Amino acid sequence: QGQLVESGGGLVQPGGSLRLSCVASGIIFSSYAMGWYRQAPGKQRELVARITSGGGTYHSVSVKGRFTISRDNAKNTVYLQMNSLKPEDTAVYYCHAILISDYWGQGTQVTVSS
């Protein structure tokens, strides 16, 4: 059974940076497309960024140019580098893996506030 564990969230001031990590186990990581989603209070979960098994990336309009998704297949890990953070980036960030089946992490809180 696949398992995803996120880390790296926290409290940061506007304009700051954080790097989220998601370590996968129980799956053939290199075969999976990986994504980062976020959910703010009272809002629907939304896709932030996705990376295919071949390394192709997609970033949502709201984060393009500020966030970067990457993966290290040797470490079974996907990253989300977040720069120039804004208060509206405050949310719980979730890691997602999809191939035939899909898996979700438990989420990590990111709070952007002065």
Under 8 Å CB-to-CB from 99, ≥6 apart: which residues?
27, 31, 32, 33
Q: What is the pLDDT of residue 85?
A: 98
Q: How far is CA 40 from the centre of its chain?
A: 14
Q: pLDDT of 55-99, one tens digit each? A: 999 999 999 999 999 999 999 999 999 999 999 999 999 999 999
Alpha helices in 1-114 (DSSP H): none
Integer-rounded Cα Rg, in Å, for the chain is 13
Q: What is the pLDDT of residue 25?
A: 97
Rounded to the nearest integer, the mean pLDDT of the chain is: 97
pLDDT band (50, 70, 90) for residue 1:
confident
Provide the percentage of residues in the chain whose pLDDT is more than 90.
97
